[in-house]
């Protein structure tokens, strides 16, 4: 499918409040046929999703340690996770330390998932992922670990108010760029 046709289809799925604000753009290299173009998403003419652009507004993590040290990341810890730590340590660790250990374990897992998602996004082809988005259900796109699928689903008109409002807890564990588009959509409600 040509870029213009794909762009037209993606923009036809944008929620009405985001028409004209969210744009899908692409660069092409007519003199370099073997060099793929670069696709990116802008909001209000500002480049939001383009990993190769250093001026992007979203923070891209380079290491798991950066994720652990980011004070903006809030990781909810369940009682089951604390209980798992208690069982692993055979009850020898004080209660206040159990929460810290459980949080560190969870943030470490989260960091690995986040870095894996970022690296798959940097290797992915926007056109391929966008075509996949057009062929799978909205639920699959929202539940996916693919950052781009999450974004395309969040700005989609088929995702209603109630669903957006019920996603708050899930969005806490997503990449900052996905959280940005979630907040953008939430502000439209």
pLDDT at 181: 93
* Beta bridge partners of residue 156, listed in sequence order: 14
Q: What pLDDT, in 10s, does the model give residues 153-181? A: 999 999 999 999 999 888 888 888 888 99
Tokens of 146: 């693919």
**Domain boundaries in the chain?**
3-57+124-187, 64-115
Q: Does the pLDDT value for residue 63 go beyond 70? A: yes
- With CA atoms as reference, report the closest residue to 122 among 181, 69, 49: 49
Q: What are phi and psi of 15, to 5 degrees?
A: -65, 145
* Residue 152, H or E segment: helix 147-154
Q: What pLDDT, in 10s, does the model give residues 75-84? A: 778 888 888 8
pLDDT at 124: 54
pLDDT at 26: 75
pTM above 0.85, yes or no: no
Q: What are phi and psi of 156, to 5 degrees?
A: -80, 140
């Amino acid at each position: 499918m040509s870029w213009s046709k794909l762009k037209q289809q993606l923009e036809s799925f944008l929620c009405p409040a985001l028409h004209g604000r969210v744009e899908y753009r692409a660069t092409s290299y007519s003199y370099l046929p073997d060099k793929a173009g670069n696709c990116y998403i802008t909001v209000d003419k500002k480049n939001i999703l383009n990993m190769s652009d250093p001026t992007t507004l979203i923070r891209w993590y380079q290491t798991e340690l950066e994720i652990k040290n980011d004070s903006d990341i809030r990781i909810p810890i369940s009682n089951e996770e604390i209980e798992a730590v208690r069982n692993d340590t055979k009850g020898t660790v004080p209660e206040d330390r159990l929460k810290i250990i459980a949080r560190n374990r969870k943030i470490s897992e989260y960091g690995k998932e986040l870095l894996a998602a970022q690296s798959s996004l940097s290797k992915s082809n926007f056109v391929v992922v966008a075509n996949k988005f057009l062929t799978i259900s909205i639920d699959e796109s929202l539940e996916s670990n693919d950052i781009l699928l999450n974004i395309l689903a969040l700005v989609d008109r088929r995702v209603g108010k109630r669903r957006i409002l019920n996603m708050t807890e899930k969005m806490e564990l997503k990449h900052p760029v996905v959280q940005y588009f979630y907040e953008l959509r939430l502000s439209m409600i």
